[in-house]
């Protein structure tokens, strides 16, 4: 099975090209002003156009109101919308129905009880993205969670693993959890929001080598 790879928080054409050339399947564009990876709607639309149909583009929103959500989807025309805040199952299901786009929801995993609560999104989203619990900012913090919490969990919807992944630990994460998709952001940066081409390539190579070996 080929593991899907998402490189999130991109802000330059160079980083997008690196993700594509390295074999990633998805890129993430963050529209959330508090994030160091924030891109304006205008810039996100430019980056989306640059990516074209060479890779799937994910628009990441955090507790965006209905007006902003609609405008962002209309301006950027993503393949996927990823909600990374406290959005309810009812809201993301509505966006899914109205937009007819693939919808992902990030869920912070603190303990097994929290993991179980993710089940309320079954039927509302196309993928759950298990991440470290939110701190000052949701996602992109470079921290991981206890992967053993996923052991034996019965996944009822497609899913992915995020939170503190990097070229050095992604194979351990794959061994521990066998996710269909891995998502990296800060783990391929030299500073918050500054992607490194060589680390993008190294991350993708580590995933590909794991797939080839199993």
Residue 75 CA, chain-centre distance (Å), reads 20
Residue 164, classed as helix, strand or coil, is coil
Per-residue tokens: 187: 């783990």
DSSP 2: P
Range(s) of the domain holding residue 188: 4-213
Q: So what's the pLDDT on residue 145? A: 86
Q: So what's the pLDDT on residue 136? A: 47
Q: Are 196 and 167 in contact (CB under 8 A)?
A: no
Q: 29 has which bridge partners?
A: 59
Q: So what's the pLDDT on residue 115? A: 86
Q: How far apart are the first and last CA of the chain?
A: 9
DSSP assignment of 62-97, as one string?
Answer: SS--HHHHHHHHHHH--SEEEE-SS--HHHHHHHHH
Per-residue tokens: 199: 């680390």
**Tens digit of each residue's pLDDT (9 = 90 or more) over 92-146:** 999 999 999 999 999 989 888 878 889 999 999 999 999 987 654 554 555 678 8
- Strands 194-195, 189-191: pairing is antiparallel
Q: So what's the pLDDT on residue 118? A: 92
Question: What pTM was estimated for this model as a whole?
Answer: 0.94
Q: How many domains does the chain have?
A: 1
Among residues 2, 25, 30, which one has the least CA distance to residue 195? 30
Spell out, as residue ranges, where the chain has pLDDT lower than 70.
134-143
Long-range contacts of 150-155 (CB under 8 A, 24+ apart): 150/109, 150/115, 150/176, 150/177, 151/176, 151/177, 153/115, 155/128
In this structure, what CATH number is given to the domain that contains residue 14?
A: 3.20.20.70
């Amino acid at each position: 099975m080929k593991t899907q790879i998402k490189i999130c928080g991109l802000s330059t054409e160079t980083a997008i090209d690196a993700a594509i050339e390295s074999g990633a399947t998805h890129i993430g564009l963050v529209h959330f002003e508090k994030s160091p990876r924030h891109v304006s709607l205008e810039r996100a639309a430019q980056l989306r156009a640059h990516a074209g149909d060479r890779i799937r583009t994910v628009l990441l929103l955090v507790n965006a109101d209905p007006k902003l959500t609609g405008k962002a989807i209309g301006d950027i025309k993503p393949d996927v919308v990823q909600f990374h805040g406290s959005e309810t199952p009812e809201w993301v299901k509505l966006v899914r129905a109205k937009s007819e786009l693939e919808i992902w929801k990030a869920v912070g995993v603190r303990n097994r009880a929290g993991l179980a609560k993710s089940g309320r999104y079954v039927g509302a989203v196309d993928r759950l993205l298990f991440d470290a619990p939110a701190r000052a900012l949701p996602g992109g913090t470079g921290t991981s969670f206890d992967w053993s919490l996923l052991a034996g969990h019965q996944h009822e919807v497609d899913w992915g693993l995020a939170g503190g992944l990097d070229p050095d630990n992604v194979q351990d994460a794959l061994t521990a959890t066998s996710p269909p998709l891995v998502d990296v952001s800060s783990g391929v940066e030299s500073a918050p929001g500054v992607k490194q081409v060589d680390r993008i390539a190294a991350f993708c190579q580590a995933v590909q080598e794991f797939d080839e070996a199993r």
